[in-house]
Amino acid sequence: MTTYIYETVNTKPGEKRQYFEIQQSMADQPLTKHPETGEPIRRVILGGLGVLKKDAGSSSSGCGCGPSGCC
């Protein structure tokens, strides 16, 4: 099971969004209504962070990933 972050969809101006986590299978469709309250919600897409580090002992002048040193 994967944990997804959801937020409420504001229906009134000035209304504050609420964020919460829901565990779902990756094969499940995103929810559109909160399972307990029935209010409209949407899944929040978060960006991941990846760090590529060139090996200090490498003689490759590429970007550091892939067999040729560049993706």
Residue 64 lies in a domain: no
Express each pLDDT in 39-64 by its tens digit: 999 999 887 777 777 765 555 555 66
Strands 41-43 and 19-24, bridge-based pairing: unpaired
The reported pLDDT for the residue numbered 68 is 61
Residue 51 lies in a domain: no
Express each pLDDT in 3-34 by its tens digit: 999 999 988 889 899 999 999 999 999 999 99
Residue 18 lies in a domain: yes
Q: How far apart are CA 27 and CA 12, in angstroms?
A: 32
Residue 63 lies in a domain: no
Query: Helix or strand or coil: residue 44?
Result: coil
23: which strand partners?
Answer: 3
Q: How far apart are CA 10 and CA 3, in angstroms?
A: 22
Residue 9 lies in a domain: yes
Residue 36 lies in a domain: yes
Which residues form the domain of 16? 2-43
